[in-house]
């Protein structure tokens, strides 16, 4: 059960090198995520409310009763949009990283259509944190699609912002190894996520897709406990 996905992943990565490119969504030849499919993604034209993830006027966010821990959220498209959903699932479950260049083209295009500034524009000390893999996923595939997506964002949207990968999930191999340290065991463990070192600055948490927002918010809480000033969420897609 656990071997099959990784064999598929390796096979898929090897095939990427030898086979002519074909679009993960429509199958057309010439690229891994074609121009036509990229242009068909339904884009998100407003940043979601950082407290409830809904779309309401920015002024209303101040009075919103949502409980998410973010200072701002940015995303690119809707998860119900098939070309984007297909890209994410092919990267996530089959490791089709050959789509990277086409994804970066898409991100550059979305960046050009953005008329508003980033929610984190005023931050002076800022780091990128990919969403860590759940322990069972880590055992199953070892490939973290959120880290790969964070790299694509770094090359296009977040060029001067360094990566600071300090967050792990409770029960993961890294967490278990580190938790043998008695200090960490007593001070930092609460909920699903653990920051392995203190954080001095603000963080942009990057994930493939956000749906309910509760897991991402829990990750944000762990970063805040570790000292992060503000936490922002950046995802490729938003689902409902």
User: By the criterion CB under 5 A, which residues form the site for Zn ion?
Assistant: 23, 25-26, 28, 34, 37, 49, 51-52, 54, 64, 66
1 versus 29: smaller Cβ distance to Zn ion: 29
- Shortest Å distance, C-beta 214 to Zn ion: 15
Are the C-beta atoms of residues 165 and 151 closer than 8 Å to each other?
no
Residue for token pair 């050009």 = 112
- Shortest Å distance, C-beta 64 to Zn ion: 3
166 versus 216: smaller Cβ distance to Zn ion: 216
- Shortest Å distance, C-beta 55 to Zn ion: 9
36 versus 139: smaller Cβ distance to Zn ion: 36
| Start-to-end C-alpha separation, the chain | 30
Helix (H), strand (E) at residue 209: strand 202-210
34 versus 175: smaller Cβ distance to Zn ion: 34
- Shortest Å distance, C-beta 239 to Zn ion: 17
> 146-153 contacts: CB < 8 A, separation 24 or more?
146/206, 146/207, 146/208, 148/91, 148/97, 148/100, 149/91, 149/103, 149/206, 149/207, 149/208, 149/236, 150/206, 152/100, 152/103, 152/104, 152/107, 153/107, 153/128, 153/206, 153/234
- Shortest Å distance, C-beta 4 to Zn ion: 27
6 versus 61: smaller Cβ distance to Zn ion: 61
- Shortest Å distance, C-beta 86 to Zn ion: 9
Are the C-beta atoms of residues 168 and 175 closer than 8 Å to each other?
yes
- Shortest Å distance, C-beta 182 to Zn ion: 41
226 versus 231: smaller Cβ distance to Zn ion: 231
Are the C-beta atoms of residues 197 and 204 closer than 8 Å to each other?
no
Q: Which of 178, 180, 150 is nearest to 162 (CA)?
A: 150
C-alpha 179/C-alpha 185 separation (Å) is 5
68 versus 143: smaller Cβ distance to Zn ion: 68
């Amino acid at each position: 059960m656990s071997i099959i996905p990784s064999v598929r992943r390796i096979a898929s990565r090897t095939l990427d090198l030898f086979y002519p490119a074909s679009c993960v969504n429509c199958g057309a030849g010439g690229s891994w995520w074609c121009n036509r499919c990229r242009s068909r993604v339904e884009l998100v034209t407003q940043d979601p409310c950082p407290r409830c993830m809904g779309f309401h006027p920015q002024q209303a966010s101040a009075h919103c009763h949502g409980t998410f821990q973010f200072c701002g959220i940015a995303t690119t498209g809707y998860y119900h949009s098939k070309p984007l959903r297909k890209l994410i699932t092919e990267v996530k479950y089959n490791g089709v990283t050959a789509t990277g260049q086409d994804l970066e083209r898409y991100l550059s295009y979305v960046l050009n259509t953005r008329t508003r500034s980033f929610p984190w524009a005023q931050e002076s000390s800022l780091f990128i944190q990919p969403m860590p893999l759940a322990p069972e996923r880590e055992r199953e595939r070892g490939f973290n699609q959120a880290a790969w997506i964070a790299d694509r964002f770094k090359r296009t949207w977040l060029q001067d912002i360094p990566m600071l990968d300090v967050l792990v999930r409770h029960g993961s191999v890294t967490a278990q190894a580190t938790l043998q340290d008695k200090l960490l065991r007593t001070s930092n463990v609460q909920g699903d996520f653990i920051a392995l070192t203190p954080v001095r600055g603000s963080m942009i948490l990057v994930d493939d897709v956000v749906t309910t927002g509760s897991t991402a918010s829990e990750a944000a809480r762990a970063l805040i406990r570790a000292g992060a000033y503000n936490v922002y969420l950046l995802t490729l897609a938003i689902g409902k």
